[in-house]
Amino acid sequence: SYVLTQPPSVSVAPGKTARITCAGNNIGRESVHWYQQKPGQAPVLVMSDDSDRPSGIPERFSGAKSGSTATLTISRVEAGDEADFYCQVWDSYTDRYVFGTGTKVTVL
Amino acid sequence: QLHLVQSGSEWKKPGASVKVSCKASGYTFTDYGVHWVRQAPGQGLEWMGWINTNTGNPAYAQDFTGRFVFSLDTSVSTAYLQISSLKGEDTAVYYCARDSNRRTDSWGQGTLVTVSS
């Protein structure tokens, strides 16, 4: 089955850059989307189609994909960025959504 | 403004059934599919499946066949998730979310379903 692997945790100091990776064998053929979930809240789409930032998402958030890995980058990290982040693709071979394993971003 | 509003928390005994609603507003309901996502306590997001709001056809993820049913009432722009024969491991927050080109661009606030005797 399709698996998207993320690091369980990423720690970053305020003002620095956080990079969250999402690895999957066939990720190159699919669009990757990213969600941020703060404690007690529903997920919010923060990056679409690998690198498109939805309206209202700060420019500090950017996305990229290379080979079998997609990366969400948060520049100039703020305390309010602390959350769980999930990547997601639509597996076109099986017609199903796949979520990544999730990464907890901690701001030191 | 686009909104998905879900029904409130539920507490059920094992073996009972529950029906969670997801009412959409601010857009044409039948133009966008609805996904259902489960999040067990302290765990990640798990895709349960989705329903085509134009045709009414549901599609279920492999782990969510049999006891889980997606349905619609398009007259009130509402999607439903029904779970029967509830088990303790069904305790989770259940989210509905709007499909937009194979991603979800708006989510309900979540419904906590607790299964306990």
How would DSSP label each residue in A51-95?
A: TBPPTTS-TTEEEEEETTEEEEEE-S--GGG-EEEEEEEEETTTT
Question: Inter-chain contact A43–B107, Cβ cutoff 8 Å?
Answer: yes
Beta strands A9-12; A103-107: pairing state? parallel
In the predicted structure, residue A94 carries a pLDDT above the cut 90: no
User: Residue A61 pLDDT more than 90?
Assistant: yes
Instruction: Give chain B's length.
Output: 117
- CA B68/CA A55 separation, integer angstroms: 34
Shortest distance, CA B73 to any CA of chain A (angstroms): 24
In chain A, which among 79-98 make CB contacts under 8 A with chain B? Answer: 84, 86, 88, 90, 95-98
Within 8 A of A98 by CB-CB distance, chain B residues are 47
Q: Which amino acid is at A6?
A: Q
Judged by CB atoms closer than 8 Å, whether chains meet at B47 and A98 is answered as yes
pLDDT at residue number B14:
98
pLDDT band at A26 (very low <50, low <70, confident <90, very high): confident
